A and B are shown apart, each in its own frame.
Chain A
């Protein structure tokens, strides 16, 4: 049983469209939430570390929000590009629990 859940498991996006997906985690004993991007044949790379309720982080066209009271985080990709194709993982730092990931495929 995963403590951290991500949905959807996969999604296909047309190039130029925006998309978002969810990470839910136990709200008790919250410490930090990490987002990673894992491209095929590469190592997972850190995107964001989020700690405070209401946090919003941004890196280029990718942004994330955090709600620690209800236990969820959203990752947004604006104007998706083929290079955004990857599996996006979130992790609950307290239990070192990773979600199963959301695999994003951007179609040109």
Chain B
């Protein structure tokens, strides 16, 4: 099945810093989503981005489908950005299954 790798596994920042999270996948996809999981377990949709670039406030995401990667960029980080960021994909020609990477745990210190 499709493999999803996220990097880095852990990231510690000072408030106000910028960061880039990476997601590599092993096969063509027709769905790619970025989520933020808060400390209470809620998975919050950040982006649905099988290709192209999107921006939402301080967050932006880019997926280059031909090179099989996606990046999530967080600017001017805040303590509320802390949590785990997951990339999840559905393989093109595959099932409805959304396959998650192992996540990046982000800690933003004041």
The answer to whether A and B assemble together is: no
Chain B interface (Cβ < 8 Å from any Cβ of A):
none
Chain A interface (Cβ < 8 Å from any Cβ of B):
none
